Amino acid sequence: MKSSSPVKNTGAEWWIVFGAIVLFNLWTRLHKVDQPEWVCWDETHFGKMGSWYINRTFFFDVHPPLGKMFIGAVGYVTGYNGTFPFEKPGDLYHDHNYLGMRVACTLLGACLTPFSFLTVWELTQSITASAFAGVLALFDVGMLILNQYILLDPILLFFISGSTYSMVKFRSYHERPFSVVWWTWLIITGFMLGGAISVKFVGLFVILLVGLNTIEQLWEILGDMSQPISNVIKHFLARAACLIALPIAMYICLFFIHLQVLYKSGNGDGHFSSSFQSALVGNVLHNASMPRHLVFGAIVTLKNHRTGGGYLHSHFHLYPEGVGARQQQVTTYAHKDENNKFIVKKWNDEAPKIYSDEYEKAEVDFVKHGDLIRLEHVITKRNIHSHAEPAPISKKQFQVTGYGDDGIGDANDVWKVEIVGGSEGDVVETVTSKIKLHHYFMKCVLTCSNKQLPKWGYEQQEISCNPTVRDPNALWNVEDNFYPKLPNVSFQNFAPGFVSRFLESHAVMFQGNAGLKPKEGDYTSRPWEWPINFRGQFFSGNDHRIYLLGNPVIWWGNIIFLGLFTATYIWNSILAQRGHEDSLEIQTQKSRTLYAGVWLFIGWALHYVPFWAMGRVLYFHHYFPACLFSSMLTAVILEYILNTILHFIPEKLVKVVYHTFIGIFVGTLWYSFHLFSPLAYGMEATPGHMTNSSVHHLKWIASWEF
Please report the pLDDT score of residue 320 as a whole number.
94
pLDDT mean across residues, the chain: 91
Q: Is the pLDDT of residue 219 over 80?
A: yes
The conformational region for residue 91 under phi > 0 = left, psi -120 to 50 = alpha, else beta, is beta
SS3 assignment, position 267: coil
Contact 162, 115 (CB under 8 A): yes
Q: For residue 484, is the peptide bond before it cis, meaning its omega torsion is within 30 degrees of 0?
A: no
- Position 541 confidence tier, pLDDT thresholds 50, 70, 90: confident
Distance, in Å, from the CA atom of 12 to the CA atom of 200, rounded to the nearest integer, reads: 39
Which range (323-327, 581-585, 651-655) has the least confidence? 581-585
Q: Is the pLDDT of residue 2 over 50?
A: no
Q: Which of 107-111, 336-340, 358-362, 498-502 has the highest mean pLDDT?
A: 107-111
**Following DSSP, what letter does each residue of 396-408 receive, concatenated?**
TSEEEEEE-BTTB
CATH numbers and ranges of domains, the chain: 13-254+522-698 (no CATH), 287-487 (2.80.10.50)
Please report the pLDDT score of residue 319 as a whole number.
95
Please report the pLDDT score of residue 359 as a whole number.
84
Which range (96-100, 267-271, 326-330, 561-565) has the least confidence? 267-271
Q: Is the pLDDT of residue 3 over 50?
A: no
Q: Is the pLDDT of residue 288 over 90?
A: no
- Position 6 confidence tier, pLDDT thresholds 50, 70, 90: low
Q: Is the pLDDT of residue 1 over 70?
A: no
SS3 assignment, position 692: coil
Q: How many CB atoms within 10 Å of residue 542?
A: 11
Please report the pLDDT score of residue 521 as a whole number.
53
Contact 312, 340 (CB under 8 A): yes
Span 653-676, mean pLDDT?
A: 93
* Percentage of the residues of the chain whose pLDDT score is greater than 90: 71
Q: What tens digit of pLDDT does each residue of 419-457 get? A: 999 898 999 998 889 999 999 999 999 999 888 899 999
Q: What φ, ψ does residue 439 adopt, rounded to 5°?
A: -70, 130
- Residues in a beta bridge with 463: 448
Q: Is the pLDDT of residue 57 over 90?
A: yes
Question: Directed axis angle between helix 246-261 and helix 498-514, to 10°?
Answer: 100
Q: Is the pLDDT of residue 336 over 70?
A: yes
Q: What tens digit of pLDDT does each residue of 561-574 get? A: 999 999 999 988 88
Span 103-121, mean pLDDT?
A: 97
Residue 183, classified by CB atoms within 10 Å of its CB into exposed (0-12), middle (13-18) or buried (19+), is middle
Span 270-292, mean pLDDT?
A: 83
Q: Is the pLDDT of residue 380 over 50?
A: yes
Buried b (16+ CB within 10 A) or exposed e, 260-286: ebbeebbebbbbbbbbbbbbbeebbbb
* Percentage of the residues of the chain whose pLDDT score is greater than 70: 97
- Name the residue with higher pLDDT: 236 or 688: 236
Please report the pLDDT score of residue 512 as a whole number.
82
40: amino acid identity, one letter:
C
Question: Directed axis angle between helix 229-240 and helix 204-222, to 10°?
Answer: 170
Please report the pLDDT score of residue 314 as a whole number.
95
Span 163-191, mean pLDDT?
A: 96
- Position 93 confidence tier, pLDDT thresholds 50, 70, 90: very high
In 3D space, the residue among 221, 109, 219, 208 whose CA is nearest the CA of residue 164 turns out to be 208
**97 DSSP assignment:** -
Please report the pLDDT score of residue 384 as a whole number.
96
Q: How many CA atoms does the CB half-sphere of 275 hold within 13 Å?
A: 19
- Position 355 confidence tier, pLDDT thresholds 50, 70, 90: confident
